[in-house]
Each structure stands twice: as structure tokens, then as C-alpha cells.
Amino acid sequence: MKILITGFDSFGGEKMNPSYESVKKLPDKILGWEVVKIEIPTVINKSMDKIVNNIKKIKPDVVICVGQAGGRSCITPEKIAININDFAIEDNEGNKVVGEKIQQEGDDGYFSTLPVNKIVEDLRKKGIPSDISYTAGTFVCNDVFYNLMYYVKKNKLNIRCGFIHIPFVFEQVVDKKNTSAMTLEMITKGLDNVIRTVIQNETDTKSNLGTIC
């Protein structure tokens, strides 16, 4: 069994992006599953193209995309991807999509098929702050999340997938007023734990994919 996990390169003037920094620190095997880690660009379309190419090549059972939500205080699995791009800033190649549907034929929203409640519960048990988020924003993170759910559904793939937002790391906020952060170590430990929860839940609920939460 295989899991594909992605992190973004840096954006918005930040020098680094802890999403891929933490993803690349994950072990190559967790609970017997192969963990394939890739970096994707913070660029509309190119990010999803790279994911699709890797899904075709690797044939994963689970895909988890990880992005940064600067300012949040904890690790937040996203509940829903929505069918709109409305960028407040440019992506890394200067694209700024305002008020457009992502997929003309897509539903307004798609729920994550990861066990988001269980992920939160398990992280808290490990002493890692976590909460469900009901909005992944309207920038590249939500775009990738939405396109991933749409692609899997349209092609009737048996892949469980979703999106996890992580906070800033402390290095990014040394002189920011009242801004929450985590250590890279805690984020990495958190993502390791997320994968464990997903794997254990995968085994348990294979028969009724999509009805969790």
C-alpha cells in the first residue's frame, strides 16, 4: 500500500514553506506503507499537473496534500474543497484568478475523504493542538484540494484523499506581532500521526469509502 504526500514551495514573500520542509522529513515507511513525498509549485494548474502525473506513476491508495495557513495556531485537516478561485495575491508565476469557478462541471463543494474528526482526536491525544477547518481559502491550496477531489471522483478512482493545513514555524514569526507558530519537529510528528490515523482508518472502513465523518 502506498501514500502520496505533497508539500508546497514557498510563497507570499516567505523564505521557506514548512509544508514541504516537514513532508520531506517524514520516514519512507509508516506502518508498512510506502510514503512517497513530492514538492509541488505554488502555481495554479502546474501544481495539479504534477499531482496527476504522480498519481498515474505511483498509483497511491491515499493522497494527502499539505499547505501552510499562516496565522492558524494548530494543525487543521480541511473538511471541504470549494469550486472557486479568488486569489488575494499572485501565485508564484504571477497568476491572480479572481472570482472564477475551478471546474465548470464540478459540484460546489467536495468533502475530504480523510477521517478528519479522527485525525483531530488522535493529534490531541499526542499533545499536538488540532482542529477541523471548514475553509481552505480560495487560493492555490483550495484549488489543488478541489481539483484532487474532482479528479478522483470523475475518474472513479479508489483513492482516499484530502488536505491538511499547518501553521507557521517559529522562524517565520520572530518579529510578527501575536502570531502563532509551531516547531518543524512538532509539525512533522503531527503529519506522521495523521498518516497513521488515515492508514488505520483506511483498513477499518474500506467498505464504505466516503461516508466517514
Size of the site for a copy of itself (CB under 8 A): 42
Give me the least distance between CB of 205 and a copy of itself, in Å please: 14
b/e per residue, 48-67, with b = 16+ CB within 10 A?
A: bebbeebbeeeebbbbbbbb
By CB under 8 A, the residues from 53 to 92 that bind a copy of itself are 72-74, 79-80, 82-84
DSSP string, 146-195: HHHHHHHHHTT---EEEEEEE--BGGGGTTSTT---B-HHHHHHHHHHHH
* Residue 179 touches a copy of itself, criterion: CB under 8 A: yes
Question: Which residue's CB is nearer to a copy of itself, number 72 or number 160?
Answer: 72
- Would you say 35 and 62 are in contact if contact means Cβ atoms under 8 Å apart? no
Shortest Cβ distance from residue 81 to a copy of itself (Å)?
9
Considering only residues 14, 53, 59, 134, which one is a binding residue for a copy of itself as defined by CB under 8 A? 134
Among 158, 177, 207, 208, binds a copy of itself (CB under 8 A): 177
Question: Mask 136-155, x = binds a copy of itself (CB under 8 A)?
Answer: -xx-----------------
**Which residues have CB under 8 Å from 171's CB, separation 6+?**
16
Task: Tell me the catalytic residues.
Answer: 78, 141, 165
Which residues within the stretch 93-132 sit at the binding site for a copy of itself (CB under 8 A)? 99, 107-111, 117, 123-124, 127-131
> In terms of Cα–Cα distance, which of 27, 26, 33 is closest to 203?
33
Number of helical (H) and strand (E) elements in the chain, helices listed first: 5, 8
